[in-house]
Structure 1
Amino acid sequence: MPTLTRVTKLYSVVDAKIAALTADPSTGSPTYATVIDVPGIQTMEISGDVETKQLRGDNTKLDSNSTVSNIQVKVDHARLSLDVLVAILGGTVTDSGTTPAQKTVWDLTAATATLPPFKLEGVTPAGGTDLIGGDLHWTLHKLNLSAFPDLGFAQEDYRIVSFTADASPLISNGKWISATLNETAAAIV
């Protein structure tokens, strides 16, 4: 059986979706709510922290050990989605009215600012890897916001929406992050 390459370039990001983590049992598999599009995805930057401990004795370094202590993602997207805000920050969205006076309101209150855990998956376009027609998916399985999202307005310019979140390993299988290289491009499901 041929082996797919494990080395590739990464070019661009064409789609990203989030889904609320609804269950993470110690036995079994995690479950997620319906995926929500992160509209106008521009960047998905993944970084991490490594904590290193050194053992010293006899006036010298005897050994050292390192551990991944955090994985973080920063996402910039061009369009505001109230459903994304609910999934990453909490709050409620209420639709009301009839045409021509319809309204959609996102409200965040002390009681609804829950900062729920969520999954994030982003993907390159087909051909965004060395595999012609293939793609790469980054999946962060369990995230929580680490800072309030960047929202608001910009004078005489578009306002880019962004958020930063920290990963935690899933209880059910220990996964923090996955990179999936597909020979044939696949949609996020």
Structure 2
Amino acid sequence: MPLSHVSKLYSVQDAKIAALTADPATGSPTYGALIDVPGIQTMEISGDIETKTLRGDNVKLATNSSLTNIQVKIDHAKVSLDVLMAILGGTVTDSGTTPAQKSVWDLTSTTATLPPFKLEGVTPPNGVDVVGGDLHWTLHKLTLSAFPDLGFAQEDFRVVSFTADADPLLSNGKWISATINETAAAIA
């Protein structure tokens, strides 16, 4: 008997991104190494639908709708230079020796490439109706739609966030996938 197609969604336990390195019109997409989105707090998915109405003879004759956008907003507790490089571009350079090590993310006019990336988030085990199971949301091809919220907050923690728009993959047309697992699985 297949799993139920209906479930609660409780919390988000992990999220990872990976650079989209190839999306051939025939074949399969390829991705770079997974990068942890540290301290994931929220993963909000929304979309836009454009509706056209045909009228004539003083009545509504037909309505057609088209999906025009899928967007995701991520809030996470810690800044990651590797995530910034994956979603904005730029370079990360490590230098020095203890006690004077440095890691520097630089974004320049030539390295601000806004590369496409995949995002996958997952509930904790038992975050769905299936005991011991989980749910993964995967957005297969994203590009930032606004500069990330970065910086500091006076006498408080600063939450980092970003918003990205989805495009369908050229190779298979996928925009978004939801996978309910009977047994919880790590993002792979």
The answer to whether structure 1 residue 3 and structure 2 residue 21 are counterparts is: no
Secondary structure of 1:29's counterpart equals coil
The answer to whether structure 1 residue 169 and structure 2 residue 168 are counterparts is: yes
The answer to whether structure 1 residue 34 and structure 2 residue 4 are counterparts is: no
Q: Residue by residue, what CA displacement relative to the aligned partner does 1:47-83 show, whole Å, maximum 9, x if unpaired?
A: 0000000111111110000011000000000000000
Q: Residue by residue, what CA displacement relative to the aligned partner does 1:107-129 show, whole Å, maximum 9, x if unpaired?
A: 00000000000000000000000
Task: Give distance in 2, aligned partners of 1:92 and 1:70.
Answer: 29
Residue 63 of structure 1 aligns with an amino acid whose one-letter code is A
Task: Give distance in 1, aligned partners of 2:31 and 2:163.
Answer: 20
Secondary structure of 2:82's counterpart equals helix
Q: Residue by residue, what CA displacement relative to the aligned partner does 1:4-49 show, whole Å, maximum 9, x if unpaired?
A: 1100000000000000000000000000000000000000000000
- Show structure 1 runs of 4+ deviating over 4 A: none
Q: How many residues align?
A: 188
Match of 1:149 in 2: 148
Match of 1:18 in 2: 17
Match of 1:60 in 2: 59
Match of 2:82 in 1: 83
Match of 2:134 in 1: 135
CA RMSD of aligned residues (A): 0.4
Task: Give distance in 1, aligned partners of 2:25 and 2:73.
Answer: 28
TM-score with structure 2 setting the length: 1.00
Residue 132 of structure 1 aligns with an amino acid whose one-letter code is V
Gaps of 5+ in 2: none
TM-score with structure 1 setting the length: 0.99
Task: Give distance in 1, aligned partners of 2:34 and 2:94.
Answer: 20
Match of 1:111 in 2: 110
How high is the sequence identity, in percent, across the aligned residues?
80
Task: Give distance in 1, aligned partners of 2:30 and 2:24.
Answer: 9
Residue 132 of structure 2 aligns with an amino acid whose one-letter code is G
Secondary structure of 2:127's counterpart equals coil
